Structure 1
Amino acid sequence: MAFLQKHRKMNNNLEELKVKLQIESVNDELFNQALTHPSFVNETPDAQTSYQRLEFLGDSVLSLLASEYIFLTFTTIDEGLLTDIRAALVRTEALAKISRKLGIGHYIHLSKGEMSNEGYENEKILADVLEAIIAVVYLDKGYESAKNFFLMHIASELETIMKNKLYVDPKTTFQEYAQANFKKTPRYDLLAYDEKRKHFTVGLYLGSKLFAKGGGKSKKSAQQEAAKKALADN
């Protein structure tokens, strides 16, 4: 009974989220699956499949949608830069930012452990769920509906990416700078990890010299932040 009561509450929340995302008519069962973390399935015997298979499909659908949009938007850019721009748009950090903006985290079905660890703020989970939702729209309503979802909620992030040149990988840029000026390859060491906040702090070193520190929800994002700071200071 407790699960059924919780399940009914979830369904109410799902309808609310559908309205926010402007996808009111998508299949309830698929949409519920898109919001179900594997930990919830493991903890709840009556729960159905997690979002993992949908995320697999959504990743590919999103890549196609982003490729088409970028290709048609930037008609004079070569394929190398187009690839970098697409990577910036579909990377975990960008998708997590969009998920937060849409308020998706509050609707994800998580285990008690993941809830206590603030899994609803975890960048990987937020990005995976967004991709799973894209898969639901694609499966239930077709490519054009998935494209409309992309245009409504994701494409606008491209303006920020281009304005701030986020398609330029700061780690690659700093490595080129370090090798040209110091003949050394940067090293990223983990300095601290806050278990409660799920926050990494890394140091960027050239030899024994600490050039910058960076923080983030993943080691990768912390390394990127450290590289950005190092570039800004040099």
Structure 2
Amino acid sequence: MINETFNIEHLEKKLNIIFNSKDLLLEALTHSSYINQHKENNHNERLEFLGDSVLQICISEYLYKNYPDKSEGELTRLRSLIVCENSLYEISISLELGKYLRMSKGEELTGGRDRISILADSVEAVIAAIYLDKGIEKAKKFIISNFRDIIGRAINNQIILDYKTRLQEVIQQKGETLISYKLLRFEGPPHRRKFYTEVVIDNTVRGEGSGYSKKESEQNAAKDALDNLEVIYE
């Protein structure tokens, strides 16, 4: 049996925050699958909702104050790079949140502790728990401290949203291995040629995408596949 009190205290040290309400942090670490096997009503989805908003406003304020030369469009683009699932996943790995999560045995056996979406959502839930327990300033300090490196990479154009790698990770978690990209057609003049690609997973078309290079069309096909597979893999 997991010693949850010990886990909470251990995580508090990693977060550098001592919670007034341990139950609030525990809720942030509780996946919806867990309550189906235990007599509890609260899981972390509502906290995820709140944490997303807290994260958005804190990153928006930081960019606004620290980069006065950036236009509204540039700030929006930077925020989208910083506040994305890949970034949240990266933070969750650095904090090792996966080993603190409460989830059903079935979810755990199917790779739940390593699933990108679950780990990313848990970061938002923890941010909300910090905000509710300690207030906006403490939440802001936590966010900027943990996202500082990601913010720097976004400013320096070092973040690439690699949907192909992400899709590969997702299908490997489910034991599927056969993935391929097929160029369907291209159209337009040589200087402005548009490519259309489909992605096939285990002999089934899972997504389609287009772009003005083969690489872009494959990335968009992978993104479409991830969107289409959400119900299957979540």
Structure 1 residues 130, 179: CA separation in 2 closer, same or farther (over 3 Å shift)? farther
Select the residue among 203, 216, 220 that pairs with 2:223.
Answer: 220
Equivalences for 1:2-151 in 2 at 5 Å?
5-6=1-2, 9-44=3-38, 46-151=39-144
Structure 1 residues 13, 192: CA separation in 2 closer, same or farther (over 3 Å shift)? same
Q: Which residue of 2 aligns with 1:191?
A: 200
SS at match of 2:19: coil
What amino acid is aligned across from residue 145 of structure 2 in structure 1? Answer: M
Map Cα deviations across residues 107-136 of structure 1 (whole Å, 9 max, x no partner). 111111111121111111111110111111
Where does structure 1 differ by over 4 angstroms across 4 or more consecutive aligned residues? 167-171, 201-207, 209-215
CA RMSD, 1 decimal = 3.4
| Counterpart Cα distance in 1 of 2:188 and 2:11 | 49
| Counterpart Cα distance in 2 of 1:67 and 1:212 | 28
What amino acid is aligned across from residue 23 of structure 2 in structure 1? Answer: E
| Counterpart Cα distance in 1 of 2:114 and 2:217 | 22
Q: Which residue of 1 aligns with 2:179?
A: none
| Counterpart Cα distance in 2 of 1:129 and 1:41 | 16
What amino acid is aligned across from residue 162 of structure 1 in structure 2? Answer: I
8 Å CA contact 1:203–1:212 kept in 2: the answer is no
| Counterpart Cα distance in 2 of 1:38 and 1:124 | 13
Q: Identical aligned pairs, as a percentage?
A: 33
Paired residues, number: 199
8 Å CA contact 1:63–1:90 kept in 2: the answer is yes
Structure 1 runs not aligned, ≥5 long: 172-177, 194-200, 224-234
Map Cα deviations across residues 192-219 of structure 1 (whole Å, 9 max, x no partner). 26xxxxxxx9786779x9658979xxx5
Note the C-alpha offset of 1:47: 2.8
Structure 1 residues 151, 165: CA separation in 2 closer, same or farther (over 3 Å shift)? same
SS at match of 2:25: helix
SS at match of 1:156: helix
| Counterpart Cα distance in 2 of 1:75 and 1:206 | 33
TM-score by length of 1: 0.73
Structure 1 residues 162, 222: CA separation in 2 closer, same or farther (over 3 Å shift)? farther
Map Cα deviations across residues 94-119 of structure 1 (whole Å, 9 max, x no partner). 11011101111111111111111211
SS at match of 1:25: coil
